[in-house]
Each structure stands twice: as structure tokens, then as C-alpha cells.
């Protein structure tokens, strides 16, 4: 990885300037583990490239899992689509290992065969969209608890020796 203008870039550039698997501390875990691998040094979890890599990792894992459950190998499964260049076993291998960016066409192709692929992506995207809302709600709750604590301290100062009022 290297930095351009404060932005972390992959050592091997892809069509969008980063390689998804390089966003993770353990690139070889891409698409092969159920959980999200740890973020690589120097990469922020809020970076759109990391989030894109997570989405592609979850997509790749779901595809690999579905192939495995059905007893298929990627090349064998893709053989009927040999005339479609974008569905070559080599390219799909690079996409599913995170060496190359997945396209919407890739996601919809695999999702058409394995609906779980789309479900897994939907869960992540839904969580991502709702994350700022959850953070805001958590901060509001903390602020409310701090305000209650301050009111309790003020009650103690006004009435020394008397226990602070408890508010539900």
C-alpha cells in the first residue's frame, strides 16, 4: 500500500485504484471466512474502499459457500457460460479472492443462482445504512444519562446529607 494525498492506495492498481483484499490485515482470508477480516494498518473502517471490500468479501464468501454446499467447483459451475468472457473461471477466481473488483453484473449473476448471496449483501448494506442512526441514538442516550447524573449532583449540593432524587 502507498499513500497519495493522504489516501491509502493499493500497491497493485485495479480499475478503481485499489485491490479489495488489500483492505484487510489478512488478505488471504478474503472470501474464505464467515466474519469480516480485521482492517489493514492505515485503512479506516469508514473508508468507502474498506466498506466496498467488506461487501465484496461477504459476496465472495456467500458464493463460495453456496458452491461448496452444492458440491460444485467454480470452473465446473461456470463451464456452461464459457462464451461469456466476464464469466471466465480465471476472472471469477480473481473476483472471489478479492484481487479484482466485482461488478454489479457479477453480483446479479451469482445472486440469480444463489439468492443467499443477495440476502447476505442486503444484510450488510442494511446495517451500514442504519449504523449512523444507531450511533446517533446511542450518543443521545449517553447524553441523557449524563444530564441525569448532573441533576443528581445538583440535588446533592442543594440538600446536603439528603440522598439525591432518583428519576425513573
User: What would the pLDDT profile of 113-130 be if each residue is shown by its tens digit?
Assistant: 999 999 999 999 888 788
Give the dihedral sign, CA 62/66/72/77.
negative
User: Cβ distance 72 to 113 under 8 Å?
Assistant: no
Q: Which helix (H) or strand (E) holds 56?
A: helix 48-69
Domain assignment present for 155: no
pLDDT score for 143: 82
Top-confidence residue, 15 or 12: 15
Q: Which residues contact 155 (CB under 8 A, 6 or more apart)?
A: 162, 164, 165
Q: Can you tell me the distance from the alpha carbon of 51 to that of 48, in angstroms, rounded to the nearest whole number?
A: 5
Domain assignment present for 18: yes
Q: Can you tell me the distance from the alpha carbon of 58 to that of 43, in angstroms, rounded to the nearest whole number?
A: 18
Domain assignment present for 156: no
pLDDT score for 126: 87
User: Cβ distance 30 to 60 under 8 Å?
Assistant: yes
Q: If you average pLDDT over every residue of the chain, what do you get? A: 84
Q: Where is mean pLDDT largest: 43-52, 95-104, 152-161?
A: 95-104
Give the domain range for residue 103: 2-130
pLDDT, tens digit (0-9, with 9 covering 90-100), for 22-64? 999 999 999 999 999 999 999 998 889 999 999 999 999 999 9
Domain assignment present for 125: yes
Domain assignment present for 159: no
The whole-number average pLDDT for the span 66-70 is 95
Overall domain count for the chain? 1
Whether the predicted pLDDT of 9 surpasses 50: no
Domain assignment present for 167: no
Domain assignment present for 35: yes
The whole-number average pLDDT for the span 82-93 is 93
Three cell numbers written together for 95: 473476483
Domain assignment present for 164: no
pLDDT score for 79: 95
Top-confidence residue, 7 or 20: 20
Amino acid at each position: 500500500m502507498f499513500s497519495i494525498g493522504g489516501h491509502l492506495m493499493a500497491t497493485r492498481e485495479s480499475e478503481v485504484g485499489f485491490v479489495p483484499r488489500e483492505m484487510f490485515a489478512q488478505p488471504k482470508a478474503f472470501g474464505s471466512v464467515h466474519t469480516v477480516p480485521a482492517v489493514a494498518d492505515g485503512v479506516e473502517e469508514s473508508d468507502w474502499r474498506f466498506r466496498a471490500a467488506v461487501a465484496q468479501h461477504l459476496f465472495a464468501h456467500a458464493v463460495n459457500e453456496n458452491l461448496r454446499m452444492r458440491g460444485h467447483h467454480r470452473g465446473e459451475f461456470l463451464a456452461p457460460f464459457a462464451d461469456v468472457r466476464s464469466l471466465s473461471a480465471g476472472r471469477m477466481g480473481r473476483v472471489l479472492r478479492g484481487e479484482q473488483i466485482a461488478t454489479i453484473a457479477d453480483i446479479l449473476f451469482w445472486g440469480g443462482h444463489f439468492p443467499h448471496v443477495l440476502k447476505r449483501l442486503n444484510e450488510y448494506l442494511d446495517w451500514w445504512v442504519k449504523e449512523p442512526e444507531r450511533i446517533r441514538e446511542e450518543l443521545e442516550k449517553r447524553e441523557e444519562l449524563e444530564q441525569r447524573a448532573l441533576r443528581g449532583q445538583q440535588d446533592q449540593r442543594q440538600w446536603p446529607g439528603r440522598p439525591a432524587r432518583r428519576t425513573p
